[in-house]
Chains A and B, each alone.
Chain A
Amino acid sequence: MTSLLALSPLILVCATAIVVMLTIAWRRHHELTATLTVVGLNLALVAQVVAWWQAPVSVTPLMTVDGLAVFGGVLILIATLACATLGHAYLEGAQGPREEYYLLLLCAAAGGLALVSSRHLAALFFGLELLSMPLYGMLAYTYRERGALEAGIKYMVLSAAASAFLLFGMALLYSRTGHLDFAGLGEALATAGGDGWLMAGMGMMLIGLGFKLSIVPFHLWTPDVYEGSPAPAATFLASASKVAVLLVLLRLLQSSPVQDAWLHSLLAVLAFVTMLVGNLLALTQNDLKRLLGYSSIAHFGYLLVALVVNDGLAAETAALYLVTYVLTTLGAFGVVTLLSSPYSGADASQLHHYRGLFWRRPYLTAVLTVMMLSLAGIPFTAGFIGKFYIVAVGVEASRWWLVGGVVAGSAIGLYYYLRVMVTLFLPEPGMQRRDATTDWAQRAGGVVVLGLAALVVVLGVYPAPMIDWVRFMVAG
């Protein structure tokens, strides 16, 4: 019973997926499907509280429900809810089937939930695939667009290759240690010492997960996929999917810390390169979604700093940064989605679509401005608290090179965030433009985006509750 209660969020999401599938089979109705999805997700969110009462508890050898799992689950469910709401606004104008989007979304969310509570490589692989497979469909959902189809297929091919690496790595680890569970693996690794095969196995797993997190040099898919895919799908990819993978990597590193100095410095180098390359490549982008893609690469570079340090404040930092990152990303993509809603051809993501937006849609612009400031890590936004933590964790561990990288990366990053911001306020051009519907703020998608902006500002000014919550969850 305890196990069932602990897994109740996952079960609820899966049940919702089945209900949604049956409803679609019975009758195609966009509103109804969306409502069912949102209700199911909200129930699952409530069920996280129930799961938290049971925590920490191991459910089968494959999964564990502890503070981190609940924390990740809450983030993923919130992100999924936002994606469902935004998707509803977006898909209203789409031709062809609209309801399956919610089915795919629910399956991917279930995968994410499974992933964050896995404590066994088999569960990890299962969760990762369940997360990725529906994403292929979501990314190519508006398959009449060339870009969306390209994004879906590109993600599928590269993701399959990454999975192959991951499996190979797991096989190597298993062949040397005889363990597939994280804890056993950690013990075996601690005693094994520097074994070439082990290192190859760890390296290959790192490649597989690094691909999902789009860490340089495995980042090449990111901008294309972000740019081409429909905005709500890209939102999910950028938020929930990355949160799940990063948390499982955190769990993996916590239970089996990287002992090997060489592998450790490799991770540090990857972090350094990722934040610089991500920021540098973003400089010349003219497409907001592409720019956000590169910016997410850079942000995961910052997050890797916490994983490299893997001590002291590190877990708290990673978790807290994820909260700020998810809120901000959802908000930024949310604005893009609203401007592109209802669907009518390729998304409005070119920067010139946003020129002078302030004079037409001041509040929507305020939202995007807050999100850009938060991504840049300016005070009064949640992003600042995140960046403060990253710098703190680097300074605490005296990793000056990484701290230097964060400072340099942030300075470079400012350039393109400011560029986006100032574009919003420039005089309007006479050219034809895309715009949000006039009543955007009264609709569900608009409310979500405004709420996110308010949350980002409030958490930036008064972050104590967020910090307490994150600490509580990570410790539990």
Chain B
Amino acid sequence: MILVWLILIPFIGGLLCWQAERLGEQPPRWIALGTMLLELALVLGVWWQGDFALNTAQGAAAWAIEWRADWIPRFGIEVHLALDGLSLIMIALTGLLGVLAVVCSWHEIARRIGFFHLNLLWILGGVVGVFLAIDLFLFFFFWEMMLVPMYFLIALWGHSGSTGNTRIQAATKFFIYTQASGLLMLVAILGLVFAHHAATGEYSFSYEALRHTAQNELSDGMAWWLMLGFFIAFAVKMPVVPLHGWLPDAHAQAPTAGSVDLAGILLKTAAYGMLRFALPLFPEASQAFAPVAMGLGILGIFYGAILACGQHDLKRLIAYSSISHMGFVLIGIYSGTELALQGVVVLMVAHAFSASGLFILSGQLYERLHTRDMRLMGGLWGRIKGLPGFALCFVAASMGMPGTANFVGEFLVLFGSFEAWPWVVVIASVGFVLAAIYSLFIMQRVYFGPAKEETPLGGLDRREGMMMLGLLALVLWVGLYPAPLLSTSEAAMQNVERIMTLEQTPAMSEETP
């Protein structure tokens, strides 16, 4: 039942915020903050009590907590929620970033505060739903649902560029990209369901039943197409390079809280989807697809990094750097070894911290300078108290400095992939150089160099300072002592690895006569 509450709390909190707007400006903010703190506390409580080292020999998923109820009996659709180490980490991340998103928009959002927090909390509720849903219909339900509040967040509270309508265009682009690709996933899910129906005469959207069908009943060609349906949906959200068109616009126009949610959690739903669904459902097809995915990952690393170097808009730069980081995630996922998969988990968490940190910082800069154009910045080191120091730390994290969480993640991904894919790792490592270049660009263009003006700007207040300090502490903690994180996700990742390798051995032996 706790799983249901994890989903419901943000939704209820959102409605309360909306109605609390009548009472004034502050109540919606406090309610939103309270809701997210409650959510976070619940997750941490579950983490404290639960045992996530469960494992079964057959590679079947073992859930720490499970909850199910009938929903649409006609198609065997259930409200089936389940939690394992991976989803737990992701939900904890969602709760944490939810708190940050509420706090960082404390002053930024001045209009229609109640409705803003309604959307913000509903995004988070949808995301938690995605991380908990195990029934494929339910998963799709949340996957599509979370787009709507995100759309409103960008379209209504976003920053417009030079021409009037760009934030609405960016929001529409985001929505259409993800929705259209989501429909492909629906088609793939239905293909799987009807294959199951043909084999057993029953409709079911259950994870276990469909996994069984996918591995035993499907022809190779069919499995390939269905896997592609899932992959494209996740690849758009991740984003993988040829499908990334929505991301820079959405980030550039979104309000800070929207960017934090986008980079911190929404992108992670894609990686989570691959780890939870695309790989375990279609291990053989995924193995066959791995070279392509690796290629796309490398492409993403370089494309994102090179384009990041050429941006003038600070948030666009961070957005492109996200694409680059997600390239590493993709490589880690498809290499399929436990080490690399563990690295993916750490990297996802690390990227969520560092990217949100950078987005929040750029939001704070925007509040002071009213621009995000780096050509108009420069020399800010001496003008703002506190902020540049934090920026340096997060930039260092983003480029994977040892001691930060990103280093652990990237190191594990590359280390884990090296055995099977040495050349991919060698090429991907070059991406670090590019990462260093764009990261230093940020520091150089924004904080160093000749100052445009000499008047000092307001330093960080207590709210901003606490926020950044907390994030930084987390980055360092995970960077220096990642063991708790790793042990939580270990069992889940071992499962994924086992599924991949179990299927891989016969397939490989067929291919190499």
The CA of A418 and the CA of B167, in the complex, are separated in Å by: 13
Residues of B within 8 A of A462 (CB): 71
> Does B166 reach chain A (CB closer than 8 Å)?
no
Stretch of A147-155, A267-275, A407-415 at the chain-chain interface: A407-415
B172 touches A418 (CB 8 A): yes
We find that the number of chain A residues with CB closer than 8 angstroms to chain B is 29
The CA of A403 and the CA of B184, in the complex, are separated in Å by: 9
A378 touches B145 (CB 8 A): yes
Q: How far is the CB of B4 from chain A (nearest CB, A)?
A: 14
Residues of B within 8 A of A81 (CB): none
> Does B73 reach chain A (CB closer than 8 Å)?
yes
The CA of A403 and the CA of B141, in the complex, are separated in Å by: 19
Residue of A nearest to B168 (CB): A422
Q: How far is the CB of A318 from chain B (nearest CB, A)?
A: 16
The CA of A45 and the CA of B73, in the complex, are separated in Å by: 28
Stretch of A100-108, A164-172, A226-234, A391-399 at the chain-chain interface: A391-399
Q: Which one, B74, B147, B194, contacts A468 given CB within 8 A? A: B74
> Does B180 reach chain A (CB closer than 8 Å)?
yes
Stretch of B100-108, B149-157, B256-264 at the chain-chain interface: B149-157
With A418-B175, A464-B72 given, is the CB distance from A407 to B148 under 8 Å? Answer: no
The CA of A217 and the CA of B249, in the complex, are separated in Å by: 38
Residues of B within 8 A of A218 (CB): none
A425 touches B152 (CB 8 A): yes
B74 touches A464 (CB 8 A): yes
Q: Residues 362-394 of chain A: 1 if any B CB is under 8 Å from the residue's CB, otherwise 0?
A: 000000000001000011100010001001100
> Does B190 reach chain A (CB closer than 8 Å)?
yes
Residue of A nearest to B172 (CB): A418
> Does A471 reach chain B (CB closer than 8 Å)?
yes
The CA of A84 and the CA of B188, in the complex, are separated in Å by: 43
A467 touches B179 (CB 8 A): no
Among B174-219, those with CB < 8 Å from A are 175-176, 179-180, 183-184, 186-187, 190-191, 193-194
> Does A451 reach chain B (CB closer than 8 Å)?
no
B141 touches A379 (CB 8 A): yes
Q: Which one, B144, B152, B183, B193, contacts A407 given CB within 8 A? A: B183
> Does A97 reach chain B (CB closer than 8 Å)?
no
B151 touches A418 (CB 8 A): yes
With A378-B144, A418-B151, A464-B72 given, is the CB distance from A411 to B190 under 8 Å? Answer: no
A411 touches B72 (CB 8 A): no
B145 touches A411 (CB 8 A): no
Residues of A within 8 A of B186 (CB): 388, 391
Residue of B nearest to A359 (CB): B112
Q: How far is the CB of A63 from chain B (nearest CB, A)?
A: 30
Residue of B nearest to A470 (CB): B74
Among B39-82, those with CB < 8 Å from A are 70-74
> Does A463 reach chain B (CB closer than 8 Å)?
yes
> Does B247 reach chain A (CB closer than 8 Å)?
no
> Does B228 reach chain A (CB closer than 8 Å)?
no
B176 touches A422 (CB 8 A): no
Q: How far is the CB of A165 from chain B (nearest CB, A)?
A: 36
Residues of A within 8 A of B306 (CB): none
B172 touches A411 (CB 8 A): no
With A418-B151, A463-B72 given, is the CB distance from A425 to B156 under 8 Å? Answer: yes
Q: Residues 455-476 of chain A: 1 if any B CB is under 8 Å from the residue's CB, otherwise 0?
A: 0000000111001100100000
B175 touches A407 (CB 8 A): no
Q: How far is the CB of A123 from chain B (nearest CB, A)?
A: 33
The CA of A405 and the CA of B382, in the complex, are separated in Å by: 58
Residue of B nearest to A392 (CB): B190
Interface SS majority for chain B:
helix
The CA of A464 and the CA of B141, in the complex, are separated in Å by: 15
A395 touches B187 (CB 8 A): yes
The CA of A305 and the CA of B72, in the complex, are separated in Å by: 23
Q: How far is the CB of A359 from chain B (nearest CB, A)?
A: 8
A380 touches B145 (CB 8 A): yes
Residues of B within 8 A of A415 (CB): 172, 176
The CA of A425 and the CA of B158, in the complex, are separated in Å by: 13
Q: Which one, A391, A408, A425, contacts B190 given CB within 8 A? A: A391
Residues of B within 8 A of A391 (CB): 183, 186-187, 190
Q: Which one, B73, B148, B176, B184, contacts A378 given CB within 8 A? A: B148
The CA of A273 and the CA of B180, in the complex, are separated in Å by: 19
> Does B171 reach chain A (CB closer than 8 Å)?
yes
B184 touches A395 (CB 8 A): no
B73 touches A422 (CB 8 A): no
B176 touches A411 (CB 8 A): yes
B175 touches A414 (CB 8 A): yes
A464 touches B145 (CB 8 A): no
The CA of A418 and the CA of B174, in the complex, are separated in Å by: 11
B184 touches A407 (CB 8 A): yes
The CA of A379 and the CA of B187, in the complex, are separated in Å by: 15
The CA of A422 and the CA of B151, in the complex, are separated in Å by: 9
Residues of A within 8 A of B156 (CB): 422, 425-426
A410 touches B183 (CB 8 A): yes
Residues of B within 8 A of A463 (CB): 72
Q: Which one, B73, B147, B190, contacts A464 given CB within 8 A? A: B73
Residues of B within 8 A of A378 (CB): 144-145, 147-148, 179
The CA of A468 and the CA of B71, in the complex, are separated in Å by: 12
A379 touches B144 (CB 8 A): yes
Q: Which one, A373, A384, A422, A464, contacts B155 given CB within 8 A? A: A422
Q: How far is the CB of B244 from chain A (nearest CB, A)?
A: 17
Q: How far is the CB of A148 from chain B (nearest CB, A)?
A: 33
Q: How far is the CB of B435 from chain A (nearest CB, A)?
A: 34
Residues of B within 8 A of A406 (CB): 183
Q: How far is the CB of B268 from chain A (nearest CB, A)?
A: 20
Residue of B nearest to A397 (CB): B194
With A379-B145, A380-B145, A391-B190 given, is the CB distance from A467 to B74 under 8 Å? Answer: yes
With A373-B148, A422-B156, A468-B74 given, is the CB distance from A411 to B191 under 8 Å? Answer: no
Residue of B nearest to A422 (CB): B155
Q: Which one, A403, A425, A464, contacts B187 given CB within 8 A? A: A403
Residues of B within 8 A of A388 (CB): 186
The CA of A463 and the CA of B187, in the complex, are separated in Å by: 20
Residues of B within 8 A of A422 (CB): 152, 155-156, 168, 171-172
Between A373, A388, A391, A419, the greatest number of chain B beta carbons within 10 A of the residue's beta carbon is seen for: A388
Residue of B nearest to A416 (CB): B172
Q: How far is the CB of B200 from chain A (nearest CB, A)?
A: 15
A414 touches B148 (CB 8 A): no
With A378-B144, A388-B186 given, is the CB distance from A414 to B73 under 8 Å? Answer: no
A414 touches B187 (CB 8 A): no
Q: How far is the CB of A245 from chain B (nearest CB, A)?
A: 27
With A379-B145, A422-B171 given, is the CB distance from A411 to B179 under 8 Å? Answer: yes
Q: How far is the CB of B498 from chain A (nearest CB, A)?
A: 31
Q: How far is the CB of A206 from chain B (nearest CB, A)?
A: 28
Q: How far is the CB of B230 from chain A (nearest CB, A)?
A: 14
Residues of A within 8 A of B144 (CB): 378-379, 384
Residue of B nearest to A406 (CB): B183
Q: Which one, A373, A395, A418, A464, contacts B191 given CB within 8 A? A: A395
Between B73, B145, B184, B186, the greatest number of chain A beta carbons within 10 A of the residue's beta carbon is seen for: B186
Q: How far is the CB of A369 from chain B (nearest CB, A)?
A: 9
The CA of A414 and the CA of B183, in the complex, are separated in Å by: 12
Q: How far is the CB of A465 from chain B (nearest CB, A)?
A: 10
The 16 sampled A-B contact pairs (Cβ below 8 Å) are A378-B144, A378-B179, A380-B145, A384-B141, A391-B186, A391-B190, A396-B190, A396-B194, A407-B180, A407-B183, A411-B179, A411-B180, A419-B172, A422-B171, A422-B172, A467-B74
* Other A-B pairs beyond A379-B140, A418-B175, A464-B72, 20, CB < 8 Å: A379-B141, A379-B142, A379-B145, A391-B187, A391-B190, A392-B194, A395-B190, A395-B194, A396-B194, A407-B184, A410-B180, A422-B156, A422-B171, A425-B152, A425-B156, A462-B71, A464-B71, A464-B73, A464-B74, A467-B74
Closest A-B pairs by Cβ, 3 of them? A411-B180, A395-B190, A379-B145
Residues of A near any B CB (own CB < 8 A): 373, 378-380, 384, 388, 391-392, 395-396, 403, 406-408, 410-411, 414-415, 418-419, 422, 425-426, 462-464, 467-468, 471
